[in-house]
Structure 1
Amino acid sequence: MSTPTRKQRIERRPDKFGERRRQLAKSALLTLAERGYANTSLRDIANNSDFTHGVLHYYFADKNELIIFGVLEYKAECVTRYDAATEGATSTEDLTARFAEAMATTLTDDASMHRLWYDMRAQGYFDAGFRPAVGEIESGLEAMIWRVVSRYCELDGAVPAITPPIAYALFDGLFQQALFRLHNGDDTAPQSLAAQVATVMESMLT
């Protein structure tokens, strides 16, 4: 057996730097999600976490890099939750119920994180540095929604009456409206969202 090269040995090492960045980002996002992008600095994040300003600056060049990294990580995980929730659906009714419940649950449980995502997306209109990450996240969310729509049509034996961008716009719009209502004190927002999701699902077939 040949001796591993230096490059191979390095590649086999645990990604300690990347793991540390993920830990820092996860902690920092809690502060960012509560205060908002414009109202939070790296020093604010340090003051509200167990990490010093110097440590944060070592792993992230600035606040923008931190929020981009953190939201990308969070949204990648969020997409897998929807896939897991709808996996194994045996009928259109079952799939609709699972998908609607998943959206209502994440609306309630992760409201602050979703608010931070929409904050970051809005920043992309003014700061070009955010646009590649926003585009990547949106592509992932659109693909996730289309997997649900495609599975729904497969179970029904029909074809979609809409395109992937339209499907994403519909569900994202409903979700964003529900998030605003929830933050405005409307406790019925999750239930209303679930009902709206069911209605939209039924209208997507030709």
Structure 2
Amino acid sequence: MTATVGRADKFEERRRELADAALQTLSELGYARTSLREIAQHTSFSHGVLHYYFRDKVELITYCVRRYKSVCVQRYDEVVAAARTGEELSAGFAEAMAGTLVADARMHRLWYDLRSQSLFEPAFRDDVREIDAILEDMITRVVGRYAELVDGVPALPFTAAYACFDGLFQQALLRHLSGVEPAPARLHDDVERLLALVTN
């Protein structure tokens, strides 16, 4: 039993290592322009090794995005846990959103690419729905805690609140990647305003 668990842990560790190596290529080229062979050419791993640990690029991409998004969720949960007032939570949440917009723009672009591809590729849909649910739960915790701190109640269903923040972030990402305006500063301000609007 211990040997079996050990092998499973090593297998998962290797998958994480491969996924981290593949993320840069995936985030630069996107779904349509990336194959396992293309990833192999841009990393130190062979095509055969990638194919051993991942069935195809669909599995690799969804694994990468799921892994990255889990880190994002932890970051926001830390903001929620640390905030003692509504103002602290609002400022921390807005700062985290603006910060990840800049630091992780290519990763977020890959997520939106994956979600768009799920409209055409049924193989992506279950994973996209699951990741979306995780992100919605994160927004639920932020909005719920903010409402508690300001002695209010959420003004929208949490699904609608998530859609609002997600749309705001996606538009900011496009502006940031286009370089047409100071998108992070605008996103920061918009997030604080929206958080107040979705709470009565």
In the TM superposition, 1:1-206 aligns within 5 A as: 7-11=1-5, 15-206=9-200
Q: Which has the larger radius of gyration?
A: 1
- Pairwise CA distance, 1:128: 0.6
Structure-2 separation of matches of 1:39 and 1:96 = 38
Letter in 1 for 2:165: F
Structure-2 separation of matches of 1:95 and 1:158 = 14
Using the TM superposition, name which of 30-39 and 182-191 deviates more: 182-191
TM-score, normalization by structure 2: 0.96
- Pairwise CA distance, 1:46: 0.6
Structure-2 separation of matches of 1:89 and 1:37 = 37
Report how many residues are paired. Answer: 200
Structure-1 separation of matches of 2:6 and 2:18 = 23
TM-score, normalization by structure 1: 0.93
- The unaligned stretches of length 5 or more in structure 1 are 1-6
Structure-2 separation of matches of 1:72 and 1:48 = 21
Task: Note if contact 2:118-2:124 (Cα within 8 Å) is conserved in structure 1.
Answer: yes
SS of alignment partner, residue 87 of structure 1? helix
Structure-2 separation of matches of 1:57 and 1:163 = 42
Task: Note if contact 2:94-2:187 (Cα within 8 Å) is conserved in structure 1.
Answer: yes
Letter in 2 for 1:172: D
- Pairwise CA distance, 1:13: 5.6
Letter in 2 for 1:165: T
User: Deviation digits for residues 167-192 of structure 1, max 9, x if unmatched?
Assistant: 10010000000000011013510110
SS of alignment partner, residue 15 of structure 1? helix
Structure-2 separation of matches of 1:9 and 1:104 = 45
Per residue, is there more helix in 1 or in 2?
2
Go from structure 1 to structure 2 and tell me whether the alpha carbon gap of 1:48 and 1:13 turns closer, same or farther (over 3 Å shift).
closer
Structure-2 separation of matches of 1:105 and 1:205 = 24
- The unaligned stretches of length 5 or more in structure 2 are none
Give the percent of matched residue pairs that are identical in Structure 1 and Structure 2: 54
4+ residue segments displaced more than 4 Å: none
Structure-2 separation of matches of 1:152 and 1:118 = 27
SS of alignment partner, residue 141 of structure 1? helix
